[in-house]
Structure formats: C-alpha cells, structure tokens
Structure 1
Amino acid sequence: MNRVLNFSAGPSAIPLSVLERAKAEFTSYKGMGFSIMEISHRGKVFDALHNAAIEKIRKFYNVSDDYAVLFLQGGATLQFAQVPMNLYNGGVAQYVNTGVWTTKAIKEAKIQSINYEVVASSEETKFDRIPENIKFSDDADYAYICSNNTIYGTQYAKLPDTKCPLVVDSSSDLLSRELDFNTKNIGMFYGGAQKNAGPAGITLVIIRKDLAARVKDNVPTPLRYTTQIEANSLANTPPTFGIYMFDLVLDWINEQGGLKAIHELNKQKAKYLYDFIDNSSFYQAHAKVGSRSLMNVSYTTPNADLDALFVKEAEANNMIGLKGHRILGGLRASIYNAVTLDNVKTLVEFMKEFERKNG
C-alpha cells in the first residue's frame, strides 16, 4: 500500500489500523450484513455503539454524571456562538486571545452584545506564546480559552485554575493527554474530531449540566445544549459514521496504553522535532519555549521561496500537509496522535538534507 506521511493540520491522519477496521466493516458491521451508516440512529445496534463511546470518553477524562457527553454537528466553529448563547448569565464572560480561533470566538460574543472582556492576549507578539499570569474573575460567568493553537503552534502546558467555570476549546489537542475533570473547574470542554479523533463532521462537547440549564427561553431550540442533553445527542439525526469512527479511535487509544502513553509519545515526537529546529541555523520555530505545542510545530526556512520549495520537495518525497497556514505562512508539521515517532524522524532526515542543499 502506497501511503504518504500525513502532517496535515486537519482533517488529518487517522491510525491505519482504524481505517482498515472501518474498511473491513464498511459493508457488514460486525458481520451483521449492513453498514453502520444504513441503520436507524434510534435502533439497538447504533444505541449500543453510541453509549459505549460515551462511556469510554467518561473513563478517559474521569467525567462524572454531573456532566453530559454530547456528539454534535456544526463543527467547533458553531460553538463559538453557542457558548455565549447558552452560558452567558448576565455578568461578564472573560476570554484569553491566543490566536485565530479565540479571535473568532470573541467576535461571536461581541455579535451577541454580551458583556465580555479579553483578560489576556499574545496578539502583539504575533501569538507566539501563551500569556503569563492570566487572571480570571472568580465570579465571571465563564472563562474561555483555546488549549492548543494550530496556526501558531502554541499550547497551554496545563489548563489554568479558575473558580469560575472554565470553557476549553480543545479541538486540536483532543484526546492527546490526560485530564481529570475532578481536579479542574471545567464547565465545558469541546473539540472537533478531525484532528485526533476521526473524520470531520462531529464535535465532542462535555458540559456541566447545571451550566447548560442557564439557557434563556429566547435561544432557538436546536441551539440549546439542554435539547441535546435530554435527547442523548439524538434530537436530530447524529453523524452516525463519524461516531462509529470516533469509537474506533477510542479503542485504538486504549490499545496504545491510554492517554498517558499517548501523551508520553507526543512529548517524544515534539522534542525530537523541536530539538532539531533549535540546533539548526536554517530553520526557526515560531512559538516560544514554554508555550510550544506538542501537536502543531510551526516553523520557517530563511525565506518564503525556500518555504515553497520545501513543500514541493517534501511532497515529492511522499510527505504532505507541511505548508503553513495562509495567515502565518512558513511551514507546519502537525504531529497528532496518529503520526508515529518514525514518521517524525523521517521528516527530520528530509529537513537535514534540504538544509544541506539550500543552506
């Protein structure tokens, strides 16, 4: 099989064993003679799969019954609007701006004319770091962060401690490290699946039920978290194949040793790549030490022409997805869970040779 090394930022690499299992079951799920896409989302077969996936998520993140686990549609982008629509409670909502995705979330808060504050930002240094000494008000309606920033390659090493409910957009580091919901005041935790948990089209939302109950009567019924909580995500037809793939990825994570083992491997991969970049006079990482993402490594060569040549030659060597985001430019290697350490080592060997020829 001629498979390329996939460093795309999203949709991104899915473990080969997951793809192969989905292929084997595509026309006959567990030998039952039908595809999981062909059956009712309210039938016993899909119901069992759906609830099993929810329980696996609860176990991974130590999620209590105080929270609902939802599979929603509309992408993480819809959550930018849905969060203030449902969770704003007449006080103040506070945001940390660390890049494009939080900028978009802040824009949605402004559109809804809620009282919001940007309490910290790294915009003036081109979002090359996570702000230090972030202070949220104890009585804020919620505090909002994006835990990992795909474009700029920054990530919170740990989530901030808050007394007000913390809302976390974890789209690009979902299921990449352990998180105990009992040790953080997490009000809501969400992320699109297309980075670490399967194909695009499904958004995981874990939300405290008492926060969801804040919703006002003027919020449209389909956009209320309570609507989906009451229906176990089945208020409308869910993305059944996406949930099936999500469940397969959860099984794969278990097979790797769980989130702790996944995190250790992610640290190894990132260290290997950053160490090479930092010891090179040819490449330069965008994110500052202490704020660097384990998921997305954004970097440059000495000029834009060489960046473009790098992408072209990488593709000729069966490596895709290394072009940087159009906003930042440069290069980016997304090294999500499905990317192996050997994949990263192959990339570094290519980078060494490219530097030798062009440095």
Structure 2
Amino acid sequence: MTFTIEATDPGSKARAGVVTTDHGPIQTPIFMPVGTAGTVKAVHQRELEQDINADIILGNTYHLYLRPGLNVLEKAGGLHAFNGWKRPILTDSGGYQVYSLSNTRKIKEDGVTFKSHIDGSPHIFTPEGVMDIQRKIGADIVMAFDECTPYPCDYEYARKSMEMTHRWLQRCVTRFDSTESHYGYQQTLFPIVQGSTYKNLRIQSAEAIASHQREGNAIGGLAVGEPAEEMYEMLEIVNGILPADKPRYLMGVGTPENILEAIALGVDMFDCVMPTRNARHGILFTTQGIINIKNEKWKDDFSSIDEELGGYASTYYSKAYLRHLIKAEELLAAQIASLHNLTFYLWLVRQARAHIQTGTFVEWKSRIVRKVMQRL
C-alpha cells in the first residue's frame, strides 16, 4: 500500500491524497461505509459501486469470524470473492466488539475470552489469532488487536490498557510479518493509538505506534461518549506525532461536523454506522440540514429528498413517499434512506477534498457545517 498527498490546505492541516492498494485507489479524505457482516445493511454492492461510488468498505472481524465462519470464507476465496466487492476492504480487529461485550468477556494478557452473541459458545481472540483471522478474511487493510477503553475511564485503567495494547501490537506485527496473504494480493496492517482522553497517554501511544513505521495508522478510543472538544484536542495532539506521510484513520467517527473538524486536523479516513443506522430510523442527512422524515410536516411534501445532492435515491423519490414507506415499515424504506445517507456522506468528503485542492477548505467548512447540521 502507498499513500500520496496531492494537496494541502493553507488554512488548516487538511490534506487530499490517494491510498493505493492492490484492489484499487482510495481518494482521501474518505468515508468508508460499514459492512459489518459482509454487507452494508440494505445496500446492494452494485449501488455502492455505481450509485455511491464508494472507494472502500469495511468488514468486521468478530462478526465474520462467528458467521459465516472462516471455513466458508476461505472456501470462497476470501471476503472479496464471497460478497462480490472488487474494491478495497478494511477489517477492524474485533476489539471494539469485544469491548462492547462487557458482560460476557474477560481480558487477560494473552488475549480476550468471550461468548458468542449468537449461541453463547466460548471463544478466544489473541493478537496472533486475530492476525490469522484477518489473513483468512482477506481485507486489504487489517487492524491491530487493541482494547478500546470506555469513557469515562480512570487514569490507571487507561494507562494499563494502553500499555497492553502496545504489547499486543508487537505480537500483531510479529505474526503479520511472518505470514503471507492467502489470496495473492498485498495486505497492510494499521496500528491503533489509544490512551483515552489523557494528553500524556495519547502522546506516549502515538509515539509508540509511529515507531513501528507501518504504512498507515489508526486512532481509536474516541467518539465513545467524550465531549467533541476533548476528541478534537486528542486528535490535534496525536496528529502532531503520527507521520505526516502516512494515512491517518479515525475509527468510528461520526457526525458530519465531527468528520469535517477532524479533516481540518489532518485525518484522512473515517467510518461510522451513523448514516445507515440513522437511515433505518428515518433520520436523513441532507445538503440543507437534518430531516426526521417521520415528522408530520413531510406527509405531503412531494419534493425530492435532496435535489442538490444528486444520486438516484436522493432525487427520484419524494419526502412524502419515503415517509410513507417508513411509517408502513416497508423494507424499501431502509434501502432508500441508507442509500441517500451514504450518498450524502461520500458527497461531503468529496466536497472537502475538492476545497482542499483549491485552498478554500476552511471557509467552506465553516459555512457548510452550520448548514448541514441544522434541524429542518
């Protein structure tokens, strides 16, 4: 994997670049639709490719390991062959899912034991095992195994967790570098910065992660309940340490405002379930602001969902029709709304990229944030 910076914004730390993988290029800044179980919920791969033109999607190690399982994925030839997606894929390590299973898992130095949310069966994730799992899944970018600390989190727990994450990272690196891709194309390992919202821990973690000199780096443990200003403070600290010539991936973020502010601080890659999860509950992100399509005011509004945005879902269907589908609990409602929200998120980062390239990002950001975050 390579990363080329094509432009930087004179008024911020934002940059426009290209990540090149064996499955194609990824133009940054980029938002990556989340395909937890091998699919972006309610969206066809054809729509992701042709309508949204997504450069990359995510898969989830924990969920794919449990179902359909590694035997099926290996027999298929990896996740790309299994789900028919020809462009890059990133898999997270399962660390966040293990973190969220607080009642059914135990964290020890060797790894994490947990019970399946499907059938209660016992399992263990170790740094070495998670590298092997992601080799078998076949993602282009794989994540190191880490512990995601909760918020709030006391200092000593955050410190011990971070230090264990660093020890786990060394084990991940050793295992990853001693194994080969199963499917004939290159895979890349991203370490993850942790440290909760403690400045000195974030500095230590960023320095430790940078010392491994991998092709890209991730920032985890944010957007877990802390105030946005604390997240931005941590990002500014971390991005001042992580190598400028490597892509920076902020995991699990977030709102349109979060994404634009993080771009301004030098982040290149994002993912979040928000556009698809909110879509399924009738919350739409548009170029004019945020819509709760279930509200009575949209009942007889026959205008397009978002004429300015473009894209099939946003311009072909009316607000009134989508509201009807949502209220009737029709399956098509989730498909239209998800496709629309993902179109908006990809539009947002591509607009950001264009304004970085013309040196007008800061002025555009201050204007567009107010507009897209207002409630309609």
**TM-score, normalised relative to structure 2:** 0.26
Higher RCO, 1 vs 2 (CA within 8 Å, ≥6 residues apart): 1
Structure 1 length-normalised TM: 0.27
